[in-house]
């Protein structure tokens, strides 16, 4: 179910007072199904904008984004985010503060039958090693636990592609080391296609099969 990602000659930008302000230009990449890719670069290089365009939160000015057989975005066509089967782990986790950990994980499974949903939530919580924490609210969890719940929530609906936006930047050094390896193993095990955005080179090397370096809105290498 996990799918290959193809981005071709992408241009992104926003409408400013003096016309279109281009942020990303001539961006292309191909990522095979089941692989983990990484966009590496300093802040402001446009890597998060690319991620948000793949998720469907930024309009595409030119070029195209395809996921498997599905055309996600062109300048004319824009599939709404909820139809893309793209999951995302946000930098600040974005856990819903009014829902418990289990309810957060089950959020995207609304269309599933109750029994099926419960089973899937339990499976996901076990996968991230928090089987006992389901009844707790996000503010009762540590930073590392919140991060794992965010991962479980993003994986629960079995997305075709998972996006990770600086997922480890809010954690302290030791937790960060441990979780980086852990998340990589979970993604590998699930055969999940994923794109990670980070400015930390070490993180990129631990996590990714392919690394692209971004600078000033352009992808300089993709290996």
Partner 1 sequence: MLGLSFGRRPEGLRAAGPLWRAATLLVALGVLAPVATLAWLALGADLSHWAHLLRYVLPQAALNTAVLLAGVGTVVLVIGTGCAWLVSSCDFPGRRVLHWALLLPLAMPTYIVAFAYLDLLHPIGPVQGAIRWLLGYDSPRQFRLPDLRSMGGAIFVLGFVLYPYVYMTARAMFMTQPAHLMEAARTLGEGRFGAFRRVALPLARPALAVGLSLALLETLNDIGASEFLGINTLTVSVYTTWITRSDLAGAAQIACAMLLVVVLLVLLERHGRRHQRFGSAQRMRAMQPRALRGAAAWAATTAAALPVLIGFAAPAAYLVWESFKRLRLGQGVSQGLVHSLGNTLALAMGVTVIAVAAGLVVAWTARSHGSMPNRARWQARVATLGYALPGTVLAIGLLTPALAFDAQLAEGLRLPGLPLMGLGVVLVVACVIRFLAMPVGGIESGLARIPPALEQASRLLGENAGGTLRRVHLPLLQPAIAASALLVFVDAMKELPATLLLRPANFDTLATWLYAEAARGTYEEGAIAALAIVVAGLLPVVLLARTQFRGAPDAGAPLSENLHP
List of residues contacting partner 1 (CB under 8 A): 55-57, 80-82, 84, 86-88, 90-92, 94, 96-98, 107-108, 110-111, 139, 153-154, 157, 159
**Do you know the residue count of the chain?**
223
Q: What are phi and psi of 191, to 5 degrees?
A: 60, 35
Q: How far is the CB of 223 from partner 1 (least distance, A)?
A: 28
Q: How far is the CB of 135 from partner 1 (least distance, A)?
A: 18
Residue among 75 and 181 whose Cβ is closer to partner 1: 75
Residue among 108 and 211 whose Cβ is closer to partner 1: 108
Q: How far is the CB of 147 from partner 1 (least distance, A)?
A: 14
Cβ atoms of 63 and 56 closer than 8 Å: no
Residue among 46 and 213 whose Cβ is closer to partner 1: 46
Q: How far is the CB of 50 from partner 1 (least distance, A)?
A: 15
Query: b/e map of 137-174 (b: 16 or more CB within 10 Å)?
Result: ebeebeebbbbbbbbbbbbbbebbbbbbbbbbeebeee
Residue among 76 and 82 whose Cβ is closer to partner 1: 82
Q: What angle do CA 42, 47, 50 make, to 5 degrees?
A: 170
Q: How far is the CB of 71 from partner 1 (least distance, A)?
A: 18
Rounded Cα gap, residues 161 and 155, in angstroms? 9
Bridge partners of 60, per DSSP, are 12
**Selection from 205, 194, 215 nearest residue 55 by Cα:** 194
- Other CB atoms within 10 A of residue 102 CB: 22
Residue among 100 and 213 whose Cβ is closer to partner 1: 100
Cα 202–chain centre separation: 19
Q: How far is the CB of 221 from partner 1 (least distance, A)?
A: 28
Residue among 18 and 139 whose Cβ is closer to partner 1: 139
Rounded Cα gap, residues 34 and 69, in angstroms? 15
């Amino acid at each position: 179910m996990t799918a290959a990602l193809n981005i071709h000659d992408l241009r992104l930008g926003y409408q400013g007072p003096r016309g279109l302000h281009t942020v990303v230009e001539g961006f292309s990449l191909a990522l095979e199904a089941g692989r983990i890719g990484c966009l590496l670069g300093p802040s402001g290089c446009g890597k998060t904008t690319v991620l948000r365009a793949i998720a469907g939160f930024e309009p595409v000015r030119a070029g195209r984004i395809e996921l498997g057989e599905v055309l996600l975005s062109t300048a004319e066509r824009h599939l709404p985010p909820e139809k893309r089967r793209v999951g995302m782990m946000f930098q600040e986790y974005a856990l819903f503060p009014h829902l418990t950990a289990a309810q957060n994980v089950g959020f995207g499974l609304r269309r599933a039958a109750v029994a099926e949903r419960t089973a899937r939530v339990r499976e996901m919580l076990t996968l991230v090693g928090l089987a006992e924490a389901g009844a707790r609210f996000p503010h009762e969890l540590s930073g590392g636990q919140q991060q794992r719940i965010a991962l479980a929530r993003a994986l629960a609906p079995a997305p075709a592609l998972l996006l990770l936006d600086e997922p480890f930047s809010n954690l302290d050094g030791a937790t960060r080391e441990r979780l980086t390896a852990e998340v990589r193993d979970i993604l590998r095990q699930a055969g999940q296609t994923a794109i990670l955005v980070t400015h930390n080179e070490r993180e990129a090397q631990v996590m990714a099969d392919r690394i692209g370096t971004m600078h000033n809105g352009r992808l300089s290498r993709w290996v």
